[in-house]
Amino acid sequence: MFRIPLRNRVRSVIGKPVRSMMLRARDRFVETARLRCQETQQQTLARLLRLNSDSDFSRRFQLNHFRTVADFQQRLPIADFDFFAPYIQQLQTGNHQALLGRRNRLLMFAITSGTTSASKSIPVTNHFLNDYRRGWQHWGITTQQQHPQLQHLRIVQLASSHRSSLAPDGTPCGSISGLVTSMQKFIVRRMYSVPSVVPGLQNPTAKRYAAVRFAYADPWVGMLVTANPSTLLQLSNFADLHAENLIRDIHDGTIGTAELSRSEVEQLSKFLQADPIRAAELERIVAENGSLEPRKCWKHLTCLAVWTGGSVKAYLPELRKRFGGLPLRDHGLHASEGRMTIPLEPDSASGVLDIESHFFEFVPDGIPVSDSTQTMLAHELCVGQDYNILMTTSSGLYRYNIRDIVRCTGFLGTTPLLEFLHKGSHISSITGEKISESQVVESVAAAMVELGQELRQFTLTPEWASPPRYRLFIETDAKAELTAERLIRISERVDHELRLRNTEYDEKRRSERLGGIECECLSPCDWQQWTSSRIAGSGGTPEQYKHPCLLPDPEFRGVFRKFLPPNH
């Protein structure tokens, strides 16, 4: 048994009453989910409508006269962000009552990338933040209960600032995870390896370096938390690239990056201390292994908290390889608009619907979603079926189509378990084949297992040719080994797997209305340039970025290749 530092043991003892309280709250939620889904959803909707009943929006649509769910549905259409944009613009100029009730205080706007290129500003209120925190607490205490050693260890969480900019009325705009980090109490902050000032650093490279520098300086890391698993792979690659500087900074108690301003260095200096012993340990790891292998740098690392559903499944084989097969804890389907699910089991992307925070409606996948489409309620879902999910939240979004497709994988008593599949817009159809992103991810994964090939990332795009076809762009760790014959084998195997999963694609291939998939390998620099351009154009942050494994635009040269050098 490793010797736990005294400060970690003290923190664990002090936190025991809080953990007990969180466990009781989690157990009450699970009991409610088991027994009272329909009743709880009706109560949640009534609470949300009361909360904003004195807003201009509520009065316009007479939501303060709510009687039944059917009454609510008749008064409001199914809506997307554009429907709420005029009200949110009023919030940004100081008229908070346009969308929010007087008791529902606006704290910030969460900036998130839109389905199109435009970014969205999502209101975050005090009541929304309470709901947001409660969902994370249910997930966190479940994870800690199933991995009890975590109570003595620390967490590396990668987040962005909640004050990236200001709205015209002075309200902060940024990342909700940054807001939560900034509001943590001292005893809670002691659980985290990366100081809360790091998300606020202006330069992206400096912020990443600072996060990696503090993370690798801490030998007592038990869990890494971020949204996209590719972020952890990038963190590991970045550490290897800057290993010499990192080790020197840890040895000297410095942070030597030119991208930091003087004031930022002063802020960070409060958390810096020389650690020659840790530096020597990291130096030995590099000498013996040729890299800063995560499992050797963090000997007590217990699990990785990342999304595991949808397109990010493509990264999981490499993630497991890089981090030695650690348990993966999916922290649920959640976005700036709100949390949808809370996974309670390890190595599963399925989570119980968060029925106490938001009111949910569902439209079976394949049925066009219009403002008057008939919806299903949570308790009415069918196992194995896929749905569009709609949300009504405390931040003033009603019957909001977030454009996520989920699958009902089971029930916890009366409440559905849902797994994210893909964004609703991530369907590609040249000749009626309707390929989904989840089908692409599954097909590529199966093909790579069959071929014994590892991919770092990939994107499938339609391509106008004669006949039209799909092109698979890939990145591997060993590009030089990918001969023309090997690329053909990859193309053929992925094509075969996709035909197994999509009967319409198979029929179009048999009738030669679609040609076979062609494969093209791109360099890491090409991918990085493309990724950076997409992040800059979306208005989101690197932590929010979701790599598209399927780009439905047939003009792939305008969607993908415009970011690449002319020689491609």
DSSP 317-352: HHHHHHTTT--EE---SEETTEE-EE--STT---EE
CA 416 from centre of chain: 21
* Residue 21 within any structural domain of the chain: no
* Residue 292 within any structural domain of the chain: yes
As a whole number of angstroms, the distance between CA 242 and CA 253 comes to 16
For tokens 């960070």, name the residue: 268
- Name residue 521's amino acid: C
Q: Give pLDDT, residue 557.
A: 52
- Mark whether 86 and 208 lie in a shared domain: no
CA 508 from centre of chain: 34
As a whole number of angstroms, the distance between CA 334 and CA 340 comes to 6
- Mark whether 175 and 261 lie in a shared domain: yes
Last residue of a domain, one of 384, 408, 423: 423
- Mark whether 433 and 409 lie in a shared domain: no
Tens-digit pLDDT profile for residues 447-487: 999 999 988 889 998 887 777 889 999 988 755 568 889 99
Here the tokens at position 130 are 């309470």
- C-alpha to C-alpha distances, 411 to 29, 67, 389, 395, 500, nearest whole angstrom: 14, 28, 16, 28, 28
Supply the angle between the helices 243-252 and 204-217 in degrees, to the nearest 10: 60
* Residue 140 within any structural domain of the chain: no
- Mark whether 282 and 379 lie in a shared domain: no
As a whole number of angstroms, the distance between CA 510 and CA 134 comes to 52
* Residue 6 within any structural domain of the chain: no
CA nearest neighbour of 538 among 523, 526, 548: 548
Region for residue 308 given its phi and psi (left: phi exceeds 0; alpha: psi -120 to 50; beta: otherwise): alpha
Neighbours of 261 (CB within 10 A): 12
Supply the angle between the helices 16-35 and 37-51 in degrees, to the nearest 10: 110
As a whole number of angstroms, the distance between CA 10 and CA 462 comes to 57
- Mark whether 417 and 438 lie in a shared domain: no
- Mark whether 302 and 161 lie in a shared domain: yes
Q: Give pLDDT, residue 530.
A: 79
- Mark whether 67 and 156 lie in a shared domain: no
Residue ranges for the chain with pLDDT beneath 70: 1-2, 113-118, 258, 425, 431-432, 478-481, 537-545, 553-568
As a whole number of angstroms, the distance between CA 420 and CA 98 comes to 32
- Mark whether 290 and 371 lie in a shared domain: no
β-pairing, 376-377 vs 435-436, is unpaired
Q: Give pLDDT, residue 542.
A: 67
Give the domain range for residue 531: 427-563
- Mark whether 480 and 397 lie in a shared domain: no
Q: Give pLDDT, residue 18.
A: 87
β-pairing, 328-329 vs 338-339, is unpaired
- Mark whether 530 and 488 lie in a shared domain: yes
Q: Give pLDDT, residue 539.
A: 58
Q: Give pLDDT, residue 478.
A: 55
| pTM above threshold 0.85 | no
* Residue 133 within any structural domain of the chain: no
The number of helices, as runs of H, and strands, as runs of E, in the chain is 21, 22
Q: Classify residue 467 by its DSSP letter.
A: S
Q: Domain count of the chain?
A: 3
- First-to-last CA distance in the chain? 55
Last residue of a domain, one of 406, 423, 440: 423
* Residue 106 within any structural domain of the chain: yes
- Mark whether 416 and 437 lie in a shared domain: no
For tokens 């930091």, name the residue: 260
Q: Give pLDDT, residue 146.
A: 96
Q: Classify residue 517 by its DSSP letter.
A: P
- Mark whether 417 and 451 lie in a shared domain: no
Q: Give pLDDT, residue 117.
A: 40
Q: Give pLDDT, residue 215.
A: 97
Last residue of a domain, one of 292, 310, 326: 326
- Identify the CATH number of the domain in which residue 502 sits: 3.30.300.30
CA nearest neighbour of 255 among 237, 236, 242: 242
* Residue 529 within any structural domain of the chain: yes
Q: Give pLDDT, residue 203.
A: 85
* Residue 465 within any structural domain of the chain: yes
Q: Give pLDDT, residue 476.
A: 80
Tens-digit pLDDT profile for residues 222-240: 999 998 888 898 899 999 9
- Name residue 208's amino acid: R
